[in-house]
């Protein structure tokens, strides 16, 4: 990079609009925040998105599996996340998943049937895990979700104004209080003023310029520290591939290694909503998805290796003999770049010790196997920046250390924290409080009204006490040998061993 600097002349920036709640970024977190704020009664919301559609990674990045929504026979992640699937279920072929009534089931025929879908059967990989059972994990068609996400917003057009192709670049700060955002567009540079700003850009584009503390990337060993450009292969027979893997595990292992060798990076076929299509997930190691060099490399390197990967798939696996390039995701796969250092930083200890928080906003079954994928509590403070007020940061850039980030920045947690941020912003505006002084009890009660299960909340308890009973009966999932070991040796270094991705 050149060492030269250009000084931009001062210029007056036109205020394009003013609102109560401004959401920057319309991915799973930002989309959920806008909808939840509207349903919590806020009538003056702006949702700003740099592209022309909503969903971010899930629609544009073709990340088309939402895993671990349930634990035993309870669906912990409901609210807006489950609403996606209620809508998609009405569209023929738009999704594949165990139904809510079957979760927790141990019937071998059903386990075999859903075993081919990612994480639809509990892994039971480690000593002491619960027996294999069905888990609510959903594979879906991203283009249908794109349309449904539009519809959800349009249903709230009395409350939400949408700015597409508008790229938020900088917070407008008055001391340590965020008062709006400057953005770039085809109409030039403009500003939106707001009472509360929700940074849902995934890369902390707003909070990193606000003076709030944050961390850059995770370390080299994490899932978060990888980029991707997902593509899809058509003309395959996923059922046949699944049976082939069961029958020839050695050959299946060799195939996955061979695929990695052809690409020069980790690449793996994953089941989709259709038997004829799979998505090709990939992991370019040690890449920061917010760095120009890494973004450019990932785009070009992936496309450059697609033909080689396809040739190898056709040659190595009978079920892929007729595979062809179905399509390439419209946008880069971004796992993590910046992490907020918020008022609370989540760590592996929250999983190993089942931390309880007064300000809990999500009770999230996860991919973490320390507690057998059991529900962990996410506090409001994990999306609340230190130092800066009237700014919230839900989604994949929330406040977690380099280990916990891999477990709390998946789609469900982005939706959950987004939904909570939207409600909190609406409550703060309605009550004339701030993001820091918001009445958290009120936020929790509205979340419960929006179908979000929360522990120790009397409204939720009155609705359904069986969740708390299950968690108590199953000791928060802390019966695994891994949890025992983690609790005995609870220091950062040891817990790093428990990563799985």
Ligand X SMILES: Cc1cc2nc3c(=O)[nH]c(=O)nc-3n(C[C@H](O)[C@H](O)[C@H](O)COP(=O)(O)OP(=O)(O)OC[C@H]3O[C@@H](n4cnc5c(N)ncnc54)[C@H](O)[C@@H]3O)c2cc1C
Contacting residues toward ligand X, per CB under 6 A: 24-30, 48-51, 56-58, 61, 63, 65-67, 167-168, 200-202, 205, 228, 230, 281, 333-335, 395-396, 409-411, 414
Give whichever of 289 and 478 is closer to ligand X, judged by the CB atom: 289
376 beta partners: 364
Give kind and range of the element (H or E) at residue 351: helix 349-352
Give 225 or 457: the residue with its C-beta nearer to ligand X: 225
Q: Residue 36 or 478: which CB sits closer to ligand X?
A: 36
Asked whether 54 and 83 are in contact (CB, 8 A), the reply is no
**Cβ proximity to ligand X, 345 vs 478, nearer residue:** 345
CB 411 within 8 A of CB 63: yes
Give the nearest residue (CB) to ligand X. Answer: 27
Shortest distance, CB of residue 63 to ligand X, whole angstroms? Answer: 4
Q: Which is nearer to ligand X, 78 or 442 (CB)?
A: 78
Nearest-approach distance from CB 226 to ligand X, in angstroms: 8
Q: Which of 238, 222, 74, 53 is nearest to 146 (CA)?
A: 53
Q: Which residues have a Cβ under 8 Å from the Cβ of 277 and sit 6 or more positions away?
A: 232, 233, 234, 236, 238, 326
Neighbours of 311 (CB within 10 A): 12
3-state secondary structure 205-223: CCHHHCCCCEEECCCCCCC
Rank residues 25 and 457 by Cβ distance to ligand X and give the closer one. 25
Cβ proximity to ligand X, 152 vs 228, nearer residue: 228
Find the shortest distance in angstroms from Cβ 441 to ligand X: 26
> What backbone torsions phi and psi does residue 121 show, to the nearest 5 degrees?
-125, 135
Question: What is d(CA 103, CA 120) in angstroms, rounded to the nearest whole number?
Answer: 9
Exposure string (b/e) for 178-210, b if CB count within 10 Å is 16 or more? bbbbbbeeeeeebbbbbbbbbbbbbbbbbbbbb
């Amino acid at each position: 990079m050149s060492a030269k600097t250009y000084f931009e002349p001062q210029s007056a920036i036109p205020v394009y609009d003013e609102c109560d709640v401004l959401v920057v970024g319309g991915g799973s977190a930002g989309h959920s925040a806008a909808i939840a704020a509207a349903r919590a009664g806020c009538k003056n919301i702006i949702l700003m998105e740099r592209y022309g559609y909503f969903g971010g990674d899930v629609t544009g990045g073709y990340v088309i599996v939402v895993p671990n929504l349930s634990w035993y026979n309870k669906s912990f992640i409901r609210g807006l996340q489950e609403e996606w699937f209620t809508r998609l279920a009405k569209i023929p072929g738009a999704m594949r998943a165990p139904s809510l009534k079957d979760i927790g089931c141990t019937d071998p025929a059903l386990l075999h049937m859903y075993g081919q879908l990612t994480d639809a059967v509990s892994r039971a990989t480690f000593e002491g895990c619960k027996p294999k059972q069905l888990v609510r994990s959903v594979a879906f068609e991203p283009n249908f979700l794109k349309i449904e996400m539009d519809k959800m917003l349009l249903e709230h057009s009395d409350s939400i104004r949408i700015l597409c192709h508008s790229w938020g670049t900088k917070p407008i700060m008055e001391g340590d209080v965020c008062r709006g955002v400057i953005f770039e567009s085809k109409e030039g540079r403009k500003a939106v003023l707001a009472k509360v700003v929700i940074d849902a850009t995934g890369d902390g584009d707003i909070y990193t310029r606000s003076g709030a503390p944050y961390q850059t990337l995770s370390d080299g060993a994490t899932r978060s520290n990888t980029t991707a450009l997902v593509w899809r292969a058509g003309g395959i027979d996923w059922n046949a591939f699944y049976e082939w893997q069961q029958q020839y595990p050695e050959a299946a292992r060799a195939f996955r290694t061979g695929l990695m060798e052809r690409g020069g990076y980790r690449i793996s076929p994953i089941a989709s909503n259709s038997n004829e299509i799979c998505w090709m997930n990939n992991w370019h190691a040690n890449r920061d998805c917010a760095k120009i060099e890494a973004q450019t490399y990932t785009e070009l390197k992936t496309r450059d290796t697609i033909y080689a990967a396809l040739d190898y798939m056709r040659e190595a696996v009978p079920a892929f003999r007729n595979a062809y390039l179905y399509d390439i995701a419209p946008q880069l796969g971004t796992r993590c770049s910046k992490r907020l250092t918020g008022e609370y930083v989540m760590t592996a200890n929250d999983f190993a010790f089942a931390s309880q928080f007064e300000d809990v906003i999500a009770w999230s079954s996860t991919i973490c196997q320390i507690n057998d994928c059991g529900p962990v509590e996410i506090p409001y403070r994990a999306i609340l920046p230190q130092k800066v007020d009237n700014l919230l940061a839900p989604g994949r850039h929330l406040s977690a250390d380099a280990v916990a980030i891999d477990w709390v920045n998946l789609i469900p947690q982005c939706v959950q924290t987004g939904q909570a941020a939207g409600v909190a912003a609406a409550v703060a505006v309605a009550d004339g409080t701030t993001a820091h002084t918001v009445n958290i009890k009120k936020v929790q009660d509205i979340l419960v009204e929006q179908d979000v299960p929360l522990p120790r909340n009397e409204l939720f308890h009155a609705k359904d006490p069986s969740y708390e009973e299950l968690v108590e009966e199953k000791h928060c999932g802390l019966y695994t040998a891994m949890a025992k070991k983690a609790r005995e040796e609870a220091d950062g270094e040891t817990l790093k061993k428990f990563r799985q991705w």
